[in-house]
Amino acid sequence: MDSYSKDKHNPSQVDGDSCHPEEIHWPSLFAAISAISAVGIAIGLGLPLLSIILEKRGISSTLIGLNSAMAGVAAMAAAPITTKLAHDFGVARTMLWAVVLAAVSALGFYYATEFWMWFPLRVGFHGATTTLFILSEFWINAAAPPRKRGLVLGIYATVLAVGFAIGPLIFSKIGSEGILPFAVGAAAIMLAFIPIYIARGENPVLDEKPQQHFLRYVFLVPMATAAVFVFGAVEVGGLSLFPVYANRVGLPEASAAQLLTIMGIGNMVFQIPFGMISDRLKDRRPMLFLMALAGLLGALALPYLIHHWWLMAGLLLVWGGCVSGLYTVGLAHLGSRLTGSDLAAANAAFVFSYAVGTVAGPQAVGVSIDLAGNNGFAWALAGFFALYVVIFIVRTVFSRQRT
């Protein structure tokens, strides 16, 4: 489907832009964007909070990492069933129940005194938030007019990034003692209930079940799902192990933290411009290719610039924008290709691919550092971008041969 010529005999391969209303459904967009932003705040607060509390309890780093990995496992498990739940119970109702489950799970960590209890809580929390991500993005894609889809998704990505940034800031102010941080996280999630409930009458309706098996959607729009896989792998693998890499090459801890902050700024400031640029393109795949190519060149440049702070800061500012742009533009590309139940299922496949990337990224980067030394960090990240470049070239050549 993602080839340059569409299969007219496959009913799933619908050009979403050809049958989409031009008006923006603002209540829907506000509900979906504000809801997922509240969840982003809670996740940004919860991830460092839970790790620090486990460390204080004397849990080993290996077990903390294993418990944290439940996030990716839960996401991969929740993605295939989310569309079915939304079809059976409705998009808004499924999201409202997911909000409640996520909030209860967030508060449950405080009362869970045994470490084993944190595993089902992680699964419940991240399974529920995965459902919210899938259905929010489907809702946004369904409500955004084709000519402004990139802009709307750029706003979504920016607001979400701000939410993730606010979470650690709140954590730095309230600390990890007592029930307060857990209550704040649960309250932030419950705030998402309000806009979803208000706009429940505007939520998209899934009258039909998806026409393909769930895994088929991973390959139906491969330039989108491959983009988000690379994004997940580089984002989580890079952020998780950049402090280790920086320390091993002799970069002061404060300087490393500042560089990560600059990369985060790049994540935020480029998404709306990238989204607006993508709206002017008939085909977003060349833009995805150029961002992956920029990511590849930037990753290869890391070992040569790591000791030149200002050059490194400039690189990471643009590089961070290109990395996150794979998510934003990839999601817009997805929305331009499919509609209805197929779009909802494809959104689930999109988030599933992201979850696989978040599991594969840290493992690949860690192994690469162990095998190849410090430069293995950059080479592993470059490898993910190179994979996308190769997929694009192969599919382009294959598509031209078919036509």
DSSP letters of 136-185?
HHHHHHHHS-GGGHHHHHHHHHHHHHHHHHHHHHHHHHH-SSSSHHHHHH
User: Is pLDDT of 365 > 50?
Assistant: yes
Torsional class of 18: left (φ above 0), alpha (ψ -120 to 50), beta (otherwise) = alpha
Torsional class of 203: left (φ above 0), alpha (ψ -120 to 50), beta (otherwise) = beta
Q: How many CB atoms neighbour CB 310 within 10 A?
A: 8
Continuous segment of H or E residues that includes residue 261:
helix 253-269
Q: Confidence class of residue 65 from pLDDT cuts 50, 70 and 90?
A: low
| Residues 6 or more apart in contact with residue 366 via CB below 8 angstroms | 237, 241
Residue 93's pLDDT is what?
A: 92
Residue 387's pLDDT is what?
A: 96
| Residues 6 or more apart in contact with residue 265 via CB below 8 angstroms | 317, 320
State whether the Cα torsion 74-75-77-79 is positive or negative: positive
Task: Note the pLDDT tens digit of each residue in 170-187.
Answer: 877 887 788 998 999 899
pTM metric for this prediction: 0.77
Mean pLDDT, rounded, for 17-33? 66
Task: Note the pLDDT tens digit of each residue in 296-335.
Answer: 999 999 999 888 889 988 998 998 889 989 999 998 898 8
CA angle 307, 324, 143 (to 5 degrees): 165
CA dihedral 336, 341, 342, 344 (to 10 degrees): 70
Backbone angles phi, psi at 176, to 5 degrees: -115, 5
User: Is pLDDT of 9 > 50?
Assistant: no
Give residue 233's identity as a one-letter amino acid code. A
Task: Note the pLDDT tens digit of each residue in 131-179.
Answer: 998 888 888 888 788 888 888 888 888 888 888 778 777 877 887 788 9
Rounded Cα distance, 199 and 373, in Å:
52
> Any idea which of 46-50, 227-231, 283-287, 376-380 has the lowest mean pLDDT?
46-50
Rounded Cα distance, 239 and 259, in Å:
11
Rounded Cα distance, 391 and 381, in Å:
16
Task: Note the pLDDT tens digit of each residue in 371-385.
Answer: 888 888 899 999 999
Rounded Cα distance, 89 and 93, in Å:
6
Backbone angles phi, psi at 284, to 5 degrees: -85, -10
